[in-house]
Structure 1
């Protein structure tokens, strides 16, 4: 059975953020992930992890910002990353440095960096070299503390004009960067919306060792995995059969209360 991490940015939103750690632990999660922790001091988050016996397995680098305050509000200001945006290299580097400081304090082994939206009138392909250079720099810095940098294809329905959308495009960036600790974050929700054929994508990419983190949600509403058009019991069995030993992040928006919607997890754990 895959090992699941609760995404504290989308799950348990009925509670204040700092109370979500204890709720996840009560529901049996051993690990958590979050999108943007920058509104909270690293020491405060580390204490919540320790108090509840949780591991932080993934966090996002800031989507923009030059200081912690602006990083904490950047997502709400519609920022979606800077890795592929011309003229934003210094901002990108500052964000990666901040993310790695949090990762060090929280003993988190990997950070996800966002690419950004393709500017109007610009061809995506023209940004590829810049993105590769930024990713190579980030991976080199992360390697100094033994951490990984992840990139994630995201669907264009949820995030129009986002630079990175397809699994093959992500692996092309890895081929170009040639950094061993630069990996792919494969969200099956996004994969299904953009290209489908999810089982074949898992069979193709998991054996490469270049997928360091999986995420799941129901399609199309991004609710619990037992809602929607993907048959997750089959996919979880397939993930096991392919020998994937990493975490599966539960990055979904519960249809009602988070704990009440975890029947899918109980069934997965019991083999039903």
Structure 2
């Protein structure tokens, strides 16, 4: 006689009946806010569905800066951190035992957005020489740009780190020819989304480079508060069974850079 599988243990969250999710509001189409201030985006909808499947109320927790977002669950600010967070060794080290990284749910490429007049002027890292670019501080766009500039010894590149991809795209759009930022760097999906909204052009899609000069894939994970028992296990089961709204992204890049 077959023994039926054990039922999954109930999850325990920071606040009973609520799944609190730390999110960075200016990283569309993964996470953003509508003009009415309503949270929206691929990560938002995915985790709303997960919360509903667990019988939990979805509660956004807004964070001002992307850098360090992955440490917030371990600091008891929320049960899960989300907003297109790439799984990097340095970030895992920062979360330590207080946070659990979920299975990968999406793979991203790097890209830049430029004005239409500049569409043919950025096809490789050396084209950034003498230019000003904008990125989210602490993001993988930031890591990739700095790594490539150092690796290729590219001169006179100014990197402006902010906390708002939407504003970065707007500043590129509004810059006069030969003045202001030349491009903004982000994930390909974000660059495509914001370029379409603002009349820019996505260019130079490429794999991420890390500070050691290695090129690697870039998978996204959610980070779960370790003390929110059962949540990580339930989330991994959900990821395995539930397609992400935007698909799996691009897995064409090399492995983890090793």
Q: TM-score range by the shorter chain?
A: under 0.3
Larger Rg: 2
Greater fraction of residues in helix: 1
| Bigger relative contact order, structure 1 or 2 (CA pairs below 8 A, ≥6 apart) | 2
TM-score, normalization by structure 1? 0.27
Greater fraction of residues in strand: 2
